[in-house]
Amino acid sequence: MIETRQLTKRYGHLIAVNEINLSLKEGDVFGFIGPNGSGKTTTMRMIATLLAPDYGEAYVCGKSIYNDPREIRRLVGYMPDFFGVYDDMTVIEYLEFFASAYRINGPGRRKVCEEKLELVDMAFKRDAMVNQLSRGQTQRIGLARTLLHEPQVLLLDEPASGLDPRARIEIRNLLKKLGELKKTVIVSSHILPELADVCTRVGMIEKGNLIVDGYVDEVMRKARQQIMLQIRVKENMEKAAALLEQHDLVSHVDIVKGTIDATLKADTFDYSSLPTMLISEGFQLTLFREEEVNLETAFMSLTKGLVQ
């Protein structure tokens, strides 16, 4: 559905997006993660045909951004990171205006608008003025607008930024719904946990480079290649840490907040000799467990050394 080849954008000497290759299938919800200024918005604008790349290609549903921008705009719903609303309109007027701009006319139009309002849980604000909505409500109206023309592909730029925790959860549920509707979604964020459990795919961008990209379970598996153990002993923590450091299975050891974090060497899965060793040396174990791998820790371990 979305395919980019060496997509590149420069601003003077700054390379905002550097040869990004992406390939997303139908139903993929792609979490596009990176700190502020890493090039997420720039990438999405290029895919949305709003910004011309300096180099490279991008296709949406097989259509090239150079040859069929109009067709792509019909297929894509893009929600910018900052977008204005016509604050002199009511919510329903605003949606009907855009519906009509997408050439949805006739008696069905009002129904489509109300359906989308329902979907984003904003039906109760139907006749409110747009400028009297809260930030989160405006964001949801923006999302409803993006969905009006039933786009196959959704580009959502930081949809959850500035929202309270409850609204974030609602946005997340909405994303899940969209994935179930077989839409292809790119959703960006500078905070990882926000996207961790709704995405099927994740990519991490840093200074314009896509440094990690893959399906969630794939990323997890890669991260799991190095197991990290959390160990706590009653006394002589430093001594235990030194002992572990010298052990054949252990690659390195950190002490964090009274816990020894021991990272095992690559492809080491059987670590049952470690507790035995510690106990035989006379240490009293109070905690010994494998750290749970979630998307966040996976990223931390995968990007170690890549990100400074």
Ligand X SMILES: Nc1ncnc2c1ncn2[C@@H]1O[C@H](COP(=O)(O)OP(=O)(O)O)[C@@H](O)[C@H]1O
Which residues are within 8 A (CB) of 225 and not within 5 positions of it... i.e. 6 or more apart? 266, 267
Cα–chain-centroid distance for residue 94?
29
74 is a site residue for other proteins (CB under 8 A): yes
- Binding flag, residue 41, ligand X (CB under 6 A): yes
Q: Which of residues 112-151 bind other proteins (CB under 8 A)?
A: 127, 129, 131, 145
Q: Which does 273 bind (CB under 5 to 8 A by kind): other proteins, ligand X, Mg ion, none?
A: none
- Tell me how far CA of residue 137 lies from CA of 112, 133, 144, 159, 273, in angstroms: 19, 6, 10, 11, 56
What is the C-alpha to C-alpha distance for residues 258 and 106, in angstroms, rounded to an integer? 67
Task: Compute φ and ψ for 118, nearest 5 degrees.
Answer: -60, -45
Query: Reduced to 3 states, what is the DSSP secondary structure of residue 14?
Result: strand
Binding span for ligand X by CB under 6 A among 30-38, 61-69, 88-96, 266-274:
30-38
Comparing every residue's Cβ against ligand X, the nearest one is 41
Q: Which of 5, 15, 64, 71 binds other proteins (CB under 8 A)?
A: 71
Closer residue to ligand X in complex, CB, 38/263: 38
- Kindly state the helix (H) or strand (E) to which residue 112 belongs, with its residue range: helix 108-119
Shortest approach of ligand X to residue 64 CB, angstroms?
22
Return contacts of 113-118, CB within 8 angstroms, 24+ apart: 113/144, 113/148, 116/144, 116/145, 116/147, 116/148, 117/91, 117/92, 117/144
Nearest approach, Cβ of residue 14 and ligand X (Å): 6
Selected binder of other proteins within 5, 27, 50, 64 (CB under 8 A)? 50
Minimum distance from residue 169 beta carbon to Mg ion (Å): 22
Binding to other proteins (CB under 8 A) within 79-98 occurs at: 80, 82-90, 93, 96-98
> CA–CA separation, 52 vs 38, rounded Å?
18
Name the residue nearer to Mg ion (CB basis): 190 or 232. Answer: 190
The only residue of 4, 8, 18, 42 in contact with ligand X, by rule CB under 6 A: 42
In the complex, minimum distance from the CB of residue 299 to ligand X, in angstroms, rounded to a whole number: 16
Q: Does 269 bind other proteins (CB under 8 A)?
A: no
Is residue 16 part of the contact set for ligand X (CB under 6 A)? yes
Backbone dihedral angles phi then psi of residue 256, each to the nearest 5 degrees: -125, 115
Closest separation in Å from C-beta 105 to other proteins: 6
Please, which residues bridge with residue 261 across strands?
Answer: 230, 254
What minimum distance in Å lies between the beta carbon of 39 and ligand X? 4
Answer whether 51's CB lies under 8 Å from 42's CB. yes
Chain residues binding ligand X by CB under 6 A are 11, 14, 16, 34, 36-42
